[in-house]
Amino acid sequence: MFSHLQPTPIDPILGLMAAYKEDPNPQKVDLGVGVYKDENGHTAVLKCVKEAEALRLKLEDSKTYIGMAGDLSFNSHIEKLAFGPAHQVLLAGRVVTAHTPGGTGALRVAAEFIKKANPDATVWVTNPTWANHVSLFQAAGLKVKEYSYYDWETKGLKFDAMMAELATVPAGDVVLVHACCHNPSGMDLNFAQWQQFAELAKEKGFTPLVDMAYQGFGLGLDEDTQGLRYLADLVPELLLCSSCSKNFGLYRERIGAVSVITADSKTADIARSVLLAVVRSIYSMPPAHGAILVSHILNSAELTALWHQELAEMRNRINNYRQLIIDKFKEQGIAQDFSFITRQHGMFSFLGINKEQIEQLRKDYSIYMVGSSRVSIAGLNHSNIDYFAKAMAEVLK
Ligand code: PLP
């Protein structure tokens, strides 16, 4: 039966990574992949993670199963990181969390959970969104629709259109919002817009799903959750998918969490049983390593302080480069307005250049970015920023 299989097209970002790898040009620049890189172009293991790994080696005395919800200490930490330690949803016992294989695992478990709660639900995603969102929800048998979000003309948000479209979403549907550092545009809702969104969700009764893959990469650990926390204050039900891939640099360890926020603690108990049954039927239990490391870090005041410092270094480096890009473009005599780059947050930015210009950058300069003109700012460093700005000046002529 396998001979009937048809090839599945490769994810464009993975295709781009492969082309970059094969490119012999020593000046090549990778602005495609969504992974943090330091000034040396390296994705290093954080020092706090190294210390937590040493601690794990010393303390671990068993490899027995950890249970379907995963590491309970990790779950408790991740809830406090997201909502703050004294948020009413935590105090009222309205949050159920399971640690998952990455943020992707969290989204897939959330999708199956939604399917159980309402098999006819449509999941509404931003236009555009992280490409995997659509396939993840469709794979669980859910319908996916887009709502207006990014405005290619103004390089801002189509907020009025977004609100008008979401006003038609019925109760029982799910609206996915990015907590911060929108992937791929870098454009986030401001707090006033979050408030309006939360009011709408409450009024219409749709269920928000907040995807938080970049907590701490935008403005700060607490600042990046302002919208989420306000939303949780207002609406009775909510889903949250978190990831520790970027903010702890634990990408390949596959560590994230899904949290279900219910109207009361009695419903939370039922939601827990459904959530764990979903986990049991997909992978039974999550891998322990990443969760134990995060737990070790957050259980120790010293390691937490070190993590905060390392996270701030990553965040500040990206934010400094947002300004540096604009300065370097000016130095190269680029007249177009790229000031929108400093209004965006997180790892990504849409440059807003066309397909021919993207192709020319790749062919003539070995500069790789996604076809939508999304660039990963962390791919830039002092050795390649001038080369990148010069190449941009050429293709924009
Ligand atoms: N959600 C968004 C918006 C993302 O950009 C990513 C990763 O790039 C994820 C979720 C999932 O991250 P991971 O599965 O690597 O933890």
Residue 370 DSSP symbol: -
Please, which residues have CB within 8 angstroms of residue 41's CB and are 6 or more apart in sequence? 379, 381, 383, 384
Peptide bond into 236 cis (omega under 30): no
Instruction: Characterise 186 by phi-psi region: left (phi > 0), alpha (psi -120 to 50), beta (else).
Output: left
**What's the CA-to-centroid distance between 375 and ligand 1, angstroms?**
16
Place of tokens 């817009």: 193
Pocket probe mutation, ligand 1, options 242, 243, 347, max atoms within 8 Å of Cβ: 243
State the pLDDT confidence band at 14, using cuts at 50, 70 and 90.
confident
183 within ligand 1 shell (Cβ under 6 A): yes
Nearest to 317 by CA among 329, 309, 305, 307: 309
256 within ligand 1 shell (Cβ under 6 A): yes
Please, which residues have CB within 8 angstroms of residue 291's CB and are 6 or more apart in sequence? 70, 71, 74, 99, 255
Q: Which of 30, 71, 188, 211 is an active site residue?
A: 211
- Complex ipTM, two decimals? 0.99
214 within ligand 1 shell (Cβ under 6 A): no
What is the C-alpha to C-alpha distance for residues 24 and 160, in angstroms, rounded to an integer? 47
The pLDDT of residue 12 is 78
The C-alpha angle 103, 258, 288, rounded to 5 degrees, equals: 70
249 within ligand 1 shell (Cβ under 6 A): no
Condensed to tens digits (0 to 9), the pLDDT of residues 363-380 reads: 999 999 998 999 999 999
286 close to 250: Cβ distance less than 8 angstroms: no
**What's the CA-to-centroid distance between 132 and ligand 1, angstroms?**
8
**What's the CA-to-centroid distance between 247 and ligand 1, angstroms?**
11
The C-alpha angle 112, 114, 118, rounded to 5 degrees, equals: 120
Distances (CA, A) of 198 to 116, 229, 232, 316, 338: 24, 10, 9, 29, 31
Place of tokens 């993975």: 14
Q: Is 211 a catalytic residue?
A: yes
124 close to 116: Cβ distance less than 8 angstroms: no
Condensed to tens digits (0 to 9), the pLDDT of residues 256-281 reads: 999 999 999 999 999 999 999 999 99
Does residue 87 have a pLDDT over 90? yes
Nearest protein Cα to ligand 1, atom 8? 34
Query: How far does Cα 3 stand from its chain's mean position?
Result: 37
Residue 128 DSSP symbol: S
Nearest to 340 by CA among 147, 177, 185: 185
Q: Is 130 a catalytic residue?
A: yes
247 close to 217: Cβ distance less than 8 angstroms: yes
Q: Which of 28, 155, 158, 246 is an active site residue?
A: 246
Cβ count near 354 (within 10 Å) = 11
Condensed to tens digits (0 to 9), the pLDDT of residues 118-169 reads: 999 999 999 999 989 999 999 999 999 999 999 999 999 999 999 999 999 9
Nearest protein Cα to ligand 1, atom 1? 213
**What's the CA-to-centroid distance between 313 and ligand 1, angstroms?**
21
Q: Is 246 a catalytic residue?
A: yes
State the pLDDT confidence band at 17, using cuts at 50, 70 and 90.
confident
Listed in sequence order, the DSSP H helices in 126-244 are 131-139, 159-166, 191-204, 226-234
**Which phi and psi (to 5°) does residue 390 adopt?**
-65, -45
- pTM assigned to the model: 0.96
The pLDDT of residue 10 is 75
**What's the CA-to-centroid distance between 130 and ligand 1, angstroms?**
8
Q: Where does residue 250 rank: exposed (0-12), middle (13-18), buried (19+ CB within 10 A)? A: buried
211 close to 132: Cβ distance less than 8 angstroms: no
Please, which residues have CB within 8 angstroms of residue 152's CB and are 6 or more apart in sequence? 350, 352
Atom index in ligand 1 nearest the CA of residue 256 equals 16
The pLDDT of residue 277 is 98
